[in-house]
Amino acid sequence: MLRDIDSVPEPDGKCLVEEQLLQFSDIYLLVEMLSMPCLSVEVSQAFERAVVRGIIMDQSMAMVLERRHAQSLNFDSVSSAQKNLHKDMALEEKTGSLPAQEVDFTLVLCLARTLALSRDSRVYGFVRTLYAILFKMFAKEDDHRKILKGLVDRAITPAEHCCEVNIDLDILALLVHEEQGISKQVLNMMREVVELSNVDRATLRRQLRAKEKENIHTQEIRQAELSNMLREKAILLDRLSDSEATIDHLKSEVRLGKEHFAQEKMELLGKCEK
């Protein structure tokens, strides 16, 4: 199915109901496949290609998420009732699975964050709508905080591409405009990020100053060691010079002694000949 995305013709306005039904089933299946870690990357890429080609529209995605959300509410309520019944009967089993709502929220939020990296204008508009749908559909405070915190962090944190910052700020502006009461929350989050960034910068400045002092101290030690080496070298050179002078003096005395000995020898030989 993932490979078939590129072969699906773009919608031309004909057989609109049939196309919408096809989109609904395909999108539903793609969202379901997002839960498979081995396919999540390919599914996200398939979503992006389908949005770029106009195969997946905002309205179709909204319909799928609304249907899944309604089903998850029913499923969670039934599961809760069953758990309570089992608990009363002492037959409850412990499971580590998350509620269906939380699973869908996490999957679609990850998809939105991935698609936000695209530079295509269609994907850009799709992501804006997707965030708005998520914010309205999942009304828990924790869910809202996850959405807003991720947008604020990426909007304020420097990014390689300026468009990444722009889309996050744009989505934040859209949510603040459409949802009452979140502007203060967004500003508080931004302030927290800025304050944390300031703390990090202050820590880095302290570390930098400490490193500079350490470097200066190390340089002073090396300079002192170099001065000592130069002083010792000068002393050794003086000693060497004195030694050479002494050796030259001894050589001179030996030479004079040899000359004196040779002269005395010649004098003795002269006397013997007489």
Residue by residue, pLDDT tens for the chain (274 residues) are: 555 555 555 555 544 444 555 567 888 888 888 888 888 899 899 899 989 988 888 888 888 888 888 887 776 554 444 444 344 434 334 334 556 678 888 999 999 999 998 888 899 999 999 999 999 988 888 999 999 999 998 888 765 555 444 788 899 999 998 887 899 999 999 999 889 888 988 999 999 999 999 999 999 999 999 999 999 999 999 999 999 999 989 998 888 888 888 888 887 877 776 6
What is the number of alpha carbons within 13 Å of residue 22 lying toward its C-beta? 14
Phi/psi region, residue 13 (left: phi>0; alpha: psi -120 to 50; beta: rest), is: left
- Cβ burial of 218 (10 Å; 0-12, 13-18, 19+) is exposed
* CA nearest neighbour of 108 among 141, 143, 73: 143
| Residues 136, 219 share a domain | no
Question: What is the helix (H) or strand (E) element at residue 39, kind and residue range?
Answer: none
User: Do residues 30 and 98 make contact, with C-beta atoms less than 8 angstroms apart?
Assistant: no
- Domain of residue 240, residue span: 208-274
| Residues 31, 111 share a domain | yes
Q: What are phi and psi of 109, to 5 degrees?
A: -65, -40
User: Do residues 8 and 79 make contact, with C-beta atoms less than 8 angstroms apart?
Assistant: no
| Residues 123, 222 share a domain | no
Instruction: Count up the domains in the chain and report the number.
Output: 2
| Residues 222, 123 share a domain | no
Q: What is the value of pTM for the model shown? A: 0.64
Asked if residue 112 is part of any domain, the answer here is yes
Question: What is the helix (H) or strand (E) element at residue 247, kind and residue range?
Answer: helix 183-273
